[in-house]
Amino acid sequence: MKAMILAAGRGERMRPLTDHTPKPLLLVGGKPLIVWHIERLAKAGFKEILINHAHLGSQIESMLKDGSAWGVNIQYSPEASALETAGGIANALPLLGRDPFLVVNGDVFTEIDFAHLALNPQYLAHLVMVDNPPQHPQGDFALIGDRLMVDGVSKLTFSGVGVYHPDLFVTVKPGEAAKLAPLLKEAMNKGLVTGQYYQGLWHDIGTPERLDALDKQLS
């Protein structure tokens, strides 16, 4: 299975840190955030990694190169302007192929074991859910058994880690900006999305304050 790291966001909430450095290259615990993902993907057995980028994307390619430093092969999917999550994934489908693939948000920090994530053939997506952080108390989706629902009494937060079938993005035109949530909700309403609950280490690195707090935790 191939893996994709989403790294095209502008990082507006991280300014001024992201004015001259793309968010995935911000240092935490002594190394760029995206390198933590690459190391964990390599440890989990992933050999083929795709990274999309837009804002200051050339810096990402210059630092990571072909991935051989980590024993992986990295390909890139440049975007003239950020295409949102679903748009970025759809734009990269020619490189991802026709089999299910793993996607990791570039601005989260987690110890989720990527090696044990999979998608059952009859479904379109499998999402890892976590407890709602203080900045997102309302959650995203309800996990009932192993099915994810749009509505429910108790919602969890989508971790930004999921396995997708290419067919989830069939309605998104290449080069078109598109959000992921509407596609997931449509698939959930058809009973085509599964999920699992993860209670381990997970942080959404959305602000300089959260980045600093994690950096101190890791130092």
Band of residue 10 on the pLDDT scale cut at 50, 70, 90: confident
What is the DSSP pairing of strand 202-204 with strand 108-110?
antiparallel
State the sign of the Cα–Cα–Cα–Cα dihedral 48, 172, 204, 81: positive
In the chain, where the domains are located? 3-218
3-state secondary structure of 186: helix
Q: Express each pLDDT in 142-196 by its tens digit.
A: 999 999 999 998 999 999 999 999 999 999 998 899 999 999 999 999 999 999 9
- Of 45, 52, 103, which is closest to residue 72 (Cα–Cα)? 45
80 pLDDT more than 80: yes
82 pLDDT exceeds 90? no
Does the pLDDT of residue 11 top 70, yes or no? no
Summarised one tens digit per residue, pLDDT across range 92-126 is 999 999 999 999 999 999 999 999 999 999 999 99
CATH number, domain 3-218: 3.90.550.10
